[in-house]
Structure 1
Amino acid sequence: MSVETTSLESMGRELGNAIAESPEYERFEEARQAVEDDDEAQEKIEEFEQLRQEFMMARQTGQASQDSMREVQRAQEQLHRLPVMSEYLEAKSELEGRLEAINMAISEPLSVDFGGEAGGCCQD
């Protein structure tokens, strides 16, 4: 492995560590853990996921209805109204914004969207 490659990998690890120590990431992790620890949130997540799965299966067989879609939407709205989930979604959005800014900073000197295309092959 060349010195340049080792240096780039080292910088990548440093970037990863810096992101993990950022206020946005720390807030996200705390909010994620709070959702995992909240029984009501977990119950609402399970309910939403079950309804969503049922709707997706019904849609594949042509059995989906507007009522079932509204039921899924209502379950999602109830889930998102929980304070713990609202905090999680806000923290997630902030982290995503920060990561997008980092992606743009990395991608700027390159001719490729680092986060979006660097791993892909032959994208137009």
Structure 2
Amino acid sequence: MSTQTTRLEELGRELGEVIADHPTYREYEAAKAKVEDHEEAQEKISEFNQLREEFNVARQLGDATQEDLQKVQAAQEELHSIPVMKEYLLAQAEMVAELETVNKAISEPLAVDFGGEAGGCCHD
């Protein structure tokens, strides 16, 4: 392994540690833990996931209806109305925004969108 690769890996680990210690990430993790420990939220997540899966199967079979879609949307709205879930979604959005800023900072000198395109071979 080259010294250059090792240094990049070190910088990657260092970046990960800095992100993990960032207040936005800590708030996200705390909000996530609250959702994981909240019985009602977990029940609503399970219900939503079940409805969404059933809808996706019906859609693939060509059997999905507008009513099925509305059931999924209603379940999602109900889930998102739970205060701990609202807090989690806000924290998640803030974390995503923070990571997008980091992605731009990494991508800028490389002239490539690291998070979006670095894994692909060819883009037309």
Tell me if both proteins adopt one fold, taking TM over 0.5 as the criterion: yes
Give 1:85's aligned residue: 85
The 4+ residue runs of structure 1 with deviation greater than 4 A are: none
* Cα distance in structure 1, aligned partners of 2:85 and 2:19: 22
SS at match of 1:5: helix
* Cα distance in structure 2, aligned partners of 1:63 and 1:117: 35
What TM-score results when the alignment is normalised by the length of structure 2? 0.94
2:8 aligned with 1:3: no
Q: What is the CA-CA distance between 1:37 and the residue it aligns to? A: 0.6
Give 1:116's aligned residue: 116
* Cα distance in structure 2, aligned partners of 1:65 and 1:119: 36
* Cα distance in structure 2, aligned partners of 1:36 and 1:87: 13
Q: What is the CA-CA distance between 1:15 and the residue it aligns to? A: 0.5
2:63 aligned with 1:60: no
C-alpha distance after superposition, 1:68-119 (max 9, x if no partner):
1111100000000000100110000000000000000000101211111222
* Cα distance in structure 1, aligned partners of 2:123 and 2:85: 36
Q: What is the CA-CA distance between 1:66 and the residue it aligns to? A: 1.1
Q: What is the CA-CA distance between 1:121 and the residue it aligns to? A: 2.0
Count of matched residue positions in the alignment of Structure 1 and Structure 2: 124
* Cα distance in structure 1, aligned partners of 2:61 and 2:5: 51
Structure 2 gap segments, 5+ residues each: none
Give 1:21's aligned residue: 21
Give 2:33's aligned residue: 33
Tell me the C-alpha RMSD between the 2 structures: 1.1
Matched residue type, 2:85: M
Q: What is the CA-CA distance between 1:56 and the residue it aligns to? A: 1.2
What TM-score results when the alignment is normalised by the length of structure 1? 0.94
